[in-house]
């Protein structure tokens, strides 16, 4: 198959190769300056060899256009056979790089490079011109794409220009002065701060800048300085807090730094506006906490007074119960005239145990306390019969014991009773379990219009504290009926009501 080109087509194709070669030449130095994980020297050598390859192809087209009437493209290529062997070397070098760096994407360009070698040219004949068309289109596209990637990478790379721009846009003021006070570096933030403070920024000698900042710091209102006078010791002694504007407060720090063996004065301006406002809020919160602490302390004192009063009332009730019981028993002894030695031996331990009972505070087991009550009244021939058992709830059992002791004391003292009957039981209903107790005695009947003293209201208060009730039945036998719920929730609800 014979493929031939007219002169304008050959010239256009030659221009394509020349343009691709020029773009590739621009790409090579950009590759050399790029930060890459590959060996830049090796990659630059390969990209430079591609420039050589494109120039060889362009030279073939140029020779063909000059002798178009004499020889076609493949004939011109054969005439340059020695030069074409350079493409074979480029192909071999590219294959090594492709295998080493594992980049199969290089296969297409390597095949096109290998197609411009003497064996392929002789084998394809006049059809070889198609290879030049494909090669020109591919390498022109490759060169354009490579340059676009270079531009993008250049924008992302850190360069001297990007470093200066970064220093200019950071919100921290930076100023470097040499030993003569000449400014070597001043970013936009520092320049803006100095302008707002009406300080010079374009003088050849700015050695007095730090002293001026210190003076402005001393002229700040006392409240302004106090707002940021916290945790600044880490900046050293050379620091100044300046209110640049009503909405901006700056902390300026000055120190000396060594750069390449030369000493420079560095002034840094930090924005501490939020820091100052946070300190204001913290100071306000501390003030509120201090007020709350004072109020809490006052409340604690009130609670202590209430607690002391409650402890006093509990002790008074305990003294009333214990001593009242002992005095009633002693009163019965005296009434009966039992002053013999045996009676005194019985009553002596009972009186001596008053202090111990007060100190114990009722810590013994409920059943043991009930036994002590029965034994104590038995000494004066007052028999206490107990039917049933105390409830397992310690609070309810303690309340029942207190009522039994008080009721027995009243029966002995006021009704001259010789027998007290205590009945204990529990009932269960939809509202929960209820502990019930009745205390009756065989003493003298209560008068029709009896008046409650302090004993019965005290016992009623004990029952009501646990959400219960106490009922008085004065008809003979005189009976006290007590009921206390065992359900803690119900007890709490009744207390609140």
Q: DSSP of 331-345, one letter per residue?
A: HHHHHHT--SHHHHH
Task: List, for residues 20-73, the tens digit of each pLDDT value.
Answer: 999 999 988 888 777 666 788 888 999 999 999 899 888 887 777 665 444 566
Q: Where is 429: in which H helix or E strand?
A: strand 419-429
The Cβ of residue 33 has, within 10 Å, a number of other Cβ atoms equal to 12
Tell me which of 176 and 312 has the higher pLDDT: 176
Domain ranges of the chain: 7-157, 163-271, 304-496
- DSSP conformational letter for 478: P
How many angstroms separate the CA atoms of 247 and 268, rounded? 19
475-490 per-residue burial string, b: 16 or more CB within 10 A, e: under 16: eebbbbebbbbbeeee
Task: Note the Cα 231 to chain centre separation in Å.
Answer: 22
219, 240 Cβ separation under 8 angstroms: no
Alpha helices in 424-483 (DSSP H): 455-465
How close are the terminal C-alpha atoms of the chain, in Å? 114
Task: List, for residues 343-364, the tens digit of each pLDDT value.
Answer: 666 666 666 666 666 555 556 7
pLDDT band, very low/low/confident/very high, at 225 (cuts 50, 70, 90): very low
Output phi, psi for 263, to 5 deg.
-95, 135
243-262 per-residue burial string, b: 16 or more CB within 10 A, e: under 16: bbeeeebbbbbbeeeeeeee
Output phi, psi for 393, to 5 deg.
-70, 120
Strand partners, 242: 250
pLDDT at 236: 58
Task: Note the Cα 22 to chain centre separation in Å.
Answer: 59
pLDDT at 154: 73
Express as a percent the part of the chain with pLDDT over 90.
22
CATH-assigned architecture of domain 163-271: 2-Layer Sandwich (3.30)
Alpha helices in 353-487 (DSSP H): 354-360, 366-378, 394-414, 455-465
293-328 per-residue burial string, b: 16 or more CB within 10 A, e: under 16: eeeeeeeeeeeeeeeeeeeeeeeeebebbbebbbeb
Task: Note the Cα 332 to chain centre separation in Å.
Answer: 74
328, 409 Cβ separation under 8 angstroms: yes
433, 486 Cβ separation under 8 angstroms: yes
Residue 299 corresponds to which tokens in the numbers above? 């409340």
Task: List, for residues 401-426, the tens digit of each pLDDT value.
Answer: 989 988 988 888 888 888 999 999 99
pLDDT band, very low/low/confident/very high, at 463 (cuts 50, 70, 90): very high
301 has a pLDDT exceeding 80: yes
126, 4 Cβ separation under 8 angstroms: yes
Q: Output the CA–CA distances (angstroms, integers) from residue 34 to 28, 104, 148, 162, 322, in the order listed.
A: 10, 22, 14, 15, 99
48, 21 Cβ separation under 8 angstroms: no
Complete DSSP assignment for 52-72: HHHHHHHHHHHHHHHTTTT--
Residue 356 corresponds to which tokens in the numbers above? 């111990």
Express as a percent the part of the chain with pLDDT over 70.
76
> Half-sphere exposure (CA, 13 Å, Cβ side) for 330?
13
How many angstroms separate the CA atoms of 130 and 136, rounded? 10
Nearest of 474, 375, 362, 490 to residue 435 by alpha carbon: 490
Task: Note the Cα 460 to chain centre separation in Å.
Answer: 54
Q: Is 40 exposed, middle or buried (0-12, 13-18, 19+ CB in 10 A)?
A: middle
Q: Output the CA–CA distances (angstroms, integers) from residue 313 to 300, 306, 307, in the order listed.
A: 19, 10, 10
Q: Which CATH number does 304-496 carry?
A: 3.30.565.10
pLDDT at 215: 87
């Amino acid at each position: 198959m014979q493929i031939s080109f007219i002169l304008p087509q050959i010239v256009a194709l030659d221009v394509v190769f020349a343009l691709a070669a020029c773009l590739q030449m621009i790409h090579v130095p950009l590759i050399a300056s790029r930060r890459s994980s590959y060996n830049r020297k090796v990659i630059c050598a390969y990209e430079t060899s591609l420039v050589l390859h494109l120039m060889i192809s362009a030279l073939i087209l140029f020779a063909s256009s000059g002798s178009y009437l004499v020889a076609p493209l493949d004939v011109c290529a054969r005439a340059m056979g020695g030069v074409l062997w350079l493409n074979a070397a480029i192909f071999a070098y590219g294959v090594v790089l492709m295998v080493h760096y594992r980049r199969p994407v290089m296969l297409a360009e390597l095949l096109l490079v290998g197609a411009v070698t003497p064996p392929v040219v002789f084998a394809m004949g006049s059809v070889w011109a198609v290879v030049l068309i494909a090669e020109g289109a591919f390498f022109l596209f490759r060169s354009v794409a490579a340059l676009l990637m270079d531009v993008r990478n250049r924008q992302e790379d850190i360069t001297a220009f990007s470093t200066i721009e970064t220093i200019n846009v950071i919100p921290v003021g930076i100023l470097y002065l040499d030993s003569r006070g000449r400014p070597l570096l001043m970013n936009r933030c520092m320049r803006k701060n100095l302008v707002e403070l009406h300080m010079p920024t374009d003088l050849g000698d700015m050695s007095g800048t730090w002293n001026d900042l210190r003076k402005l710091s001393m002229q700040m209102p006392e409240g302004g300085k106090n707002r940021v006078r916290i945790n600044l010791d880490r900046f050293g002694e050379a620091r100044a807090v300046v209110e640049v504007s009503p909405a901006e407060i700056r902390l300026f720090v000055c120190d000396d730094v060594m750069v390449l063996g030369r000493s420079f004065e560095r002034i840094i301006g930090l924005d501490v506006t939020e820091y100052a406002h946070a300190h204001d809020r913290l100071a306000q919160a501390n003030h509120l906490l201090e007020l709350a602490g004072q109020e809490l302390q006052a409340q604690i004192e009130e609670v202590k007074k209430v607690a002391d009063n409650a402890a006093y009332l509990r002790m008074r009730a305990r003294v009333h119960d214990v001593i009242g019981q002992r005095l009633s028993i002693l009163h019965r002894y005296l009434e009966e005239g039992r002053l013999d030695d045996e009676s005194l031996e019985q009553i002596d331990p009972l009186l001596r145990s008053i202090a111990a009972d007060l100190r114990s505070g009722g810590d013994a087991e409920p059943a043991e306390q009930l036994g002590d009550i029965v034994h104590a009244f038995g000494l004066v021939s007052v028999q206490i019969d107990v039917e049933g058992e105390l409830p397992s709830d310690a609070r309810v059992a303690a309340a029942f014991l207190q009522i039994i002791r008080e009721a027995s004391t009243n029966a002995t003292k006021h009704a001259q009773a010789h027998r007290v009957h205590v009945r204990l039981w529990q009932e269960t209903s939809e509202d929960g379990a209820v502990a019930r107790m009745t205390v009756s005695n065989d003493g003298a009947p209560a008068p029709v219009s009896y008046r409650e003293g302090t004993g019965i209201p005290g016992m009623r208060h004990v029952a009501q504290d646990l959400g219960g009730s106490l009922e008085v039945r004065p008809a003979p036998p005189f009976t006290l009926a007590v009921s206390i719920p065992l359900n803690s929730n119900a007890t709490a609800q009744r207390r609140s009501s």
